[in-house]
Amino acid sequence: MPVTTKTRAGLTLGLALGLGALAPAAVAQDCTTKIGAVLPTSVDWGRPIAEVAQFAVDQVNEAGGAAGCKIEMVLRDTQVDPKVGVDAAKALVDLEGVKLLLGAVSSGVSMPILTSVTVPAGVPQFSCCSSSTAFTKLAEEGKTNGLWFRTFATTAVQSAVAAKVARDKGYKTVAVLYKNDDWGQDMARLIAADFAAVGVEVVANVAINDAQPSYRAEVTEALAAQPEALYLALYPVEGTSAVREWISLGGTQNMIVANSLKSDEFRDNVGLQYLGNTLGTDTASPRSDSADAFRTRYVERFGSEPNGPGLANSYDATMIALLAMEAAGPDASGADIAAAVPRVTDPAGTRVSADAAGFAAAKEVLAGGGTVMYDGGTGNVRFDANGDVSAPAVVWSFAEGGIDEVEYLSLDDVNGFIASLR
């Protein structure tokens, strides 16, 4: 039969549709959703935190974006100044129309953003690093409307695990050097209580202010009581300075440190030879292959371990926020996204790894109506009713190549131990 124009047209159309159906599922979207980030990029330790958040966004876009659109992270600097940070957050919410906000790092900036911008606007706020216990209290008072989440290992867990370490090592007296901000002050208070509960006496409690040229006076005060061990709740710069002073004045090398000192900078500047008896606490990655995904991809991309303060937390905050956005679906409001967070941090859900492949897998599971358990850079992140993270814990020590895990405590172990202290 002669091939008429109609037949030819029909065949062409059929061919086109057939080829179209063969196209890959993750076709480039032509829509973009903006998310906001208010982080202290003008401070040197703030820049890597912003960088790793952007890294997470890049991976999500690689996996085809979230809720049907590519993600664009609009980054604003807070200058560690509350009024600048709040203004930046307000501009992101009102002018850019973001549906979720990452930030800030300092509690003094996160809190006014929460009370005057994100809660009134109904926008969920995910902080990597705000440590003040005031947030927990605020959430308990019902003033956060379920919009506040932070992937920061709460001080209560760190202090409890530190008490366990001190008890297991048999230290009878400990001196505490703590950073003089909300986090450090909370740590000092909780350490004193938890150590006393396990029978360890805190003989000195000394505040360390930032950016002092010398900590001789503080170290001398702590050394006066001749403690068996030293507990440090400090960040790398002040920690290095204080520890050097401590060791040169003859202080003991038995040290317990918080996760803030889990950094190569600290290890290299103090020297591995003095850190043989140092044990640290942190929230743990679960014992599974997927736990290494974040570290592997990070090293691939940046060429160094993700050991600085706040890096893994910032990554997890971003990933969980975007997973929740995916779970809430297109055109979701801020409150919907916040409500979707339990669906992506469900202990009974399908495990997904912390990389682009993991996000793609999560998309499929969520599309099928299931739930997901996100294996993050900081561990099996789960939020309680107040937006605080509860995760397994790890005791670690310094080693040549990085960090060695000494002991792992599952979530049940941690909760059980905390209960035994109170």
Partner 1 sequence: MIGLISYLVFFATVASILAIAVLGLNLQWGNTGLFNGGVVAFFGAGAYGTLILGSPALEGQLGGFELAYPLALTGGMVAAALLAWAVGALTLRLRHDYLAIATFGVAVAFESLMRNAEWLAGGAKGIRGFERPLRAALGDGFLYNLAFLGFVLCLLVAVYLFLERLVGSPFGRLLRAIREDEDAARSLGKRPARVRLVAFVTGSAIMGLAGGLYASFYAFVSPQDILPVLTFQIWAMLIVGGAGNNRGAIMGTLLIWGAWTGSGWALSRFAPIEAQLYTGSIQFVMIGAVIVGMLLWRPQGLFPERLVVSQSGRSN
List residues binding partner 1 (CB under 8 A). 40-43, 46-47, 50-51, 54, 74-77, 79-84, 86-88, 90-91, 93-95, 97, 106-109, 111-112, 115-116, 119-121, 132-134, 137-138, 141, 143, 180-186, 207
Closer CB to partner 1, 141 or 400, in the complex: 141
Buried b / exposed e along 39-50 (16+ C-beta atoms within 10 A): bbbeeebbebbb
Minimum distance of partner 1 from residue 326's CB (angstroms): 23
Q: Which two tokens stand for residue 300?
A: 């691939």
Closer CB to partner 1, 210 or 289, in the complex: 210
Minimum distance of partner 1 from residue 357's CB (angstroms): 24
Q: Which two tokens stand for residue 148?
A: 């506040």
Closer CB to partner 1, 118 or 285, in the complex: 118
3-state SS, residue 70: strand
CA atoms lying within 13 Å on the CB side of residue 328: 22
Strands 393-398 and 278-283 turn out to be: antiparallel
Q: Which residues contact 33 (CB under 8 A, 6 or more apart)?
A: 65, 66, 67, 69, 70, 71, 72, 99, 325
Minimum distance of partner 1 from residue 71's CB (angstroms): 14
Closer CB to partner 1, 181 or 194, in the complex: 181
Closer CB to partner 1, 134 or 197, in the complex: 134
Secondary structure (H, E, C), 135-192: HHHHHHCCCCCCCEEECCECHHHHHHHHHHHHHHHCCCEEEEEEECCHHHHHHHHHHH
Closer CB to partner 1, 48 or 349, in the complex: 48
Closer CB to partner 1, 47 or 70, in the complex: 47
* E strand or H helix at 278: strand 278-283
How far is the C-alpha of 121 from the C-alpha of 284, rounded, in Å?
A: 34
DSSP letters along 344-381, please? HB-TTSEEE-SSHHHHHHHHHHHHTT--EEEEETTEE-
Please answer whether residues 365 and 352 qualify as being in contact, where contact means their C-beta atoms are separated by less than 8 angstroms: yes
Q: How far apart are the first and last CA of the chain?
A: 90
Minimum distance of partner 1 from residue 149's CB (angstroms): 18
How far is the C-alpha of 284 from the C-alpha of 259, rounded, in Å?
A: 11
Would you report the helix, strand and coil content of the chain in percent, each value rounded to 5? 50, 20, 30
Closer CB to partner 1, 8 or 143, in the complex: 143
Q: Which two tokens stand for residue 33?
A: 């959703």
Q: Which residues contact 59 (CB under 8 A, 6 or more apart)?
A: 297, 319, 355, 356, 359
Minimum distance of partner 1 from residue 8's CB (angstroms): 47
Q: Which two tokens stand for residue 23?
A: 């196209």
Closer CB to partner 1, 315 or 417, in the complex: 315
Minimum distance of partner 1 from residue 244's CB (angstroms): 25
Minimum distance of partner 1 from residue 95's CB (angstroms): 5
Minimum distance of partner 1 from residue 322's CB (angstroms): 18
Please answer whether residues 343 and 89 qualify as being in contact, where contact means their C-beta atoms are separated by less than 8 angstroms: no
Rounded (5°) CA angle 292-36-293: 5
Minimum distance of partner 1 from residue 228's CB (angstroms): 27
Closer CB to partner 1, 137 or 172, in the complex: 137
- Residues across the chain: 422
Closer CB to partner 1, 107 or 241, in the complex: 107
Minimum distance of partner 1 from residue 249's CB (angstroms): 24
Minimum distance of partner 1 from residue 407's CB (angstroms): 31
